[in-house]
Amino acid sequence: MKIGIVGLGYVGLPLAVAFAEAGNHVVGLDLDPAKVEALDRGESYVEDVPAAVLGPLAERLRPTGDYAELADCEAIVVCVPTPLSESREPDLTHLLDSAASLSEVLRAGQLVVLESTTYPGTTREQLKPILERSGFSAGEDFHLAFSPERIDPGRTDFTIRTMPKLVGGLTAACAERARELYAGICDQVIVLSTPEAAELAKLLENIFRSVNIALVNELAQLCDRLEIDVWEVVEAAASKPFGFMRFDPGPGMGGHCLPVDPFYLAFKARQHDFYPEFIELAGKVNQAQPAFCVDRIERALNRAGKPIKGSRILVLGASYKGGIGDTRESPALKIIARLRDLGGEVSYHDPHVPALPDLALESVPLADALSTCDLAAIVTAHPELDYEQIVSKAPLVLDFRGVTRGINANNLERL
Ligand SMILES: NC(=O)c1ccc[n+]([C@@H]2O[C@H](COP(=O)([O-])OP(=O)(O)OC[C@H]3O[C@@H](n4cnc5c(N)ncnc54)[C@H](O)[C@@H]3O)[C@@H](O)[C@H]2O)c1
């Protein structure tokens, strides 16, 4: 098959690679010329796609910035960003722009699948009418479906092949075309009755995580007051073989999905005079967590007779989760900014994030920084950091990720 992938980011590039590895010819389209040029040179900018896998695929994976090259693809999968606007409402600009460009090259018989996370109704109400500007009718002249991306960046135990794939088509024939497409790269494809069900299923997955993380973050704040070790409590509850799913507390939620996606559903719900309380409350609790971490840092320094102002605070980890370099919505950035506002001299170390240009900071070498700081705060649980060494070298350590469980030291505190 010849398959087009629109948007070669964290989602689109691994998908393009998966289709190419399965023997298909893939046209990868991105409007960012830097990405197209990097791929042309055989370089990867996504950590889950090592450059070594691109070389052997050079014949079958062609990067481009030109929508006209999609005209002879049998299937086109759209993976463009769906962020929030400044007023925290869905920003579908990328998706609508992409649909408008597609409508100019769309051919009869093609299958278009949307993978971007979005609110229920987007495929039918937003994408379909724009694609139909081509003069073709969705469900009759071309097929249209929604299939959410469910990857977890950095995770290796589930791959595109082993993660069950959800698809929802505009018609039964649309769903069947989408099922066939993904059956070539996924072991299991689950067909839902509508695109809306598939759109909402993805949001439910992310909202489920957001609500449970909020619950355990709130519990961490309560445990702080009660002087109970929240990690011990979570560990103990998780020993129950049924009826409990473990979520760990932390410095707050980050990434492109969890802090963003719930707002997509809340927006849609409001259009129907419905106010989803759990979603809003979870967002509120999780967004307050970085401020709680700063409060803990302030108290730890205070006990050592130091104010935040003028203290040298080393933040360990800037990305939103361990093992990857993605800093989007990372709580570390909020913690750094707040500490600086309070007069702290903040530096950071992150093996995956060489620089934070917006904060005019560069990752500092670990050994020197540990010996010269007043406090080191573990904000991201990067697996390659040696936490025993960190606790032994830094004068004071605050662990917001629970990675120092098992280490007992007078200079160590945990969330
Ligand atoms: N990153 C994740 O872990 C993840 C997981 C599941 C779902 N998603 C969803 O997948 C979608 C894509 O996310 P991502 O993380 O890959 O985003 P990303 O920003 O990494 O990549 C999107 C790419 O689309 C390109 N693009 C923007 N507008 C375009 C247009 N009109 N035409 C062609 N290309 C265009 C951008 O240049 C960018 O390279 C989002 O809806 C996101 O919510 C992301």
Q: What is the pLDDT of residue 52?
A: 94
> Which residue has its alpha carbon closest to ligand 1 atom 31?
98
Active site residue 186: no
pLDDT above 90: residue 405: yes
Candidate of 6, 8, 10, 127 to mutate for ligand 1, largest count of ligand atoms within 8 Å of Cβ: 10
Distance 142 CA to ligand 1 centre (A): 24
pLDDT above 80: residue 154: no
36 touches 16 (CB < 8 A): no
- When pLDDT is cut at 50, 70 and 90, the band that residue 39 belongs to is very high
> Which residue has its alpha carbon closest to ligand 1 atom 23?
7
- When pLDDT is cut at 50, 70 and 90, the band that residue 280 belongs to is confident
Closest CA to 81 of 47, 39, 115, 126: 115
pLDDT above 90: residue 260: no
Closest CA to 166 of 180, 185, 146, 151: 146
> Which residue has its alpha carbon closest to ligand 1 atom 35?
7
Distance 13 CA to ligand 1 centre (A): 9
Q: What is the pLDDT of residue 256?
A: 79
Considering the entire predicted model, what is its pTM? 0.91
Pairing relationship of beta strands 361-362 and 355-356 according to DSSP bridges: antiparallel
When pLDDT is averaged across residues 81-95 and rounded to a whole number, the result is: 92
Q: What is the pLDDT of residue 255?
A: 85
331 touches 289 (CB < 8 A): yes
Ligand 1 — pocket residues by CB below 6 A?
Answer: 6-12, 29-32, 35, 79-82, 94, 97-98, 116-117, 149, 151, 153, 256-257
Q: Kindly give the number of the ligand 1 atom that is closest to the alpha carbon of 260.
A: 43
pLDDT digits (tens, 9 = 90+) for 391-401: 999 999 999 99
pLDDT above 90: residue 369: yes
Cα distance between residue 298 and residue 307, in whole Å: 7
pLDDT above 90: residue 59: yes
Candidate of 149, 152, 202 to mutate for ligand 1, largest count of ligand atoms within 8 Å of Cβ: 149
- When pLDDT is cut at 50, 70 and 90, the band that residue 240 belongs to is very high
3-class SS letters over the chain: CEEEEECCCCCHHHHHHHHHHCCCEEEEECCCHHHHHHHHCCCCCCCCCCHHHHHHHCCCEEEECCHHHHCCCCEEEECCCCCECCCCCECCHHHHHHHHHHHCCCCCCCEEEECCCCCCCHHHHHHHHHHHHHCCCECCCEEEEECCCCCCCCCCCCCCCCCCEEEEECCHHHHHHHHHHHHCCCCCEEEECCHHHHHHHHHHHHHHHHHHHHHHHHHHHHHHHHCCCHHHHHHHHCCCCCCCCCCCCCCCCCCCCCCCHHHHHHHHHHHCCCCCHHHHHHHHHHHHHHHHHHHHHHHHHHHCCCCCCCCEEEEECCCCCCCCCCCCCCHHHHHHHHHHHCCCEEEEECCCCCEEHHHCEECCCHHHHHHHCCEEEECCCCCCCCHHHHHHHCCCEEECCCCCCCCCCCCEEEC
pLDDT digits (tens, 9 = 90+) for 293-323: 999 999 999 999 999 999 999 999 999 999 9
pLDDT digits (tens, 9 = 90+) for 206-231: 999 999 999 999 999 999 999 999 99
- pLDDT averaged over the chain? 96
Q: What is the pLDDT of residue 153?
A: 76
When pLDDT is averaged across residues 46-67 and rounded to a whole number, the result is: 94
> Which residue has its alpha carbon closest to ligand 1 atom 18?
9
Q: What is the pLDDT of residue 110?
A: 98
Q: What is the pLDDT of residue 152?
A: 81
When pLDDT is averaged across residues 167-192 and rounded to a whole number, the result is: 98
pLDDT over 90 for what percent of the chain?
A: 91
Query: Which member of 174, 223, 257, 293 is catalytic?
Result: 257
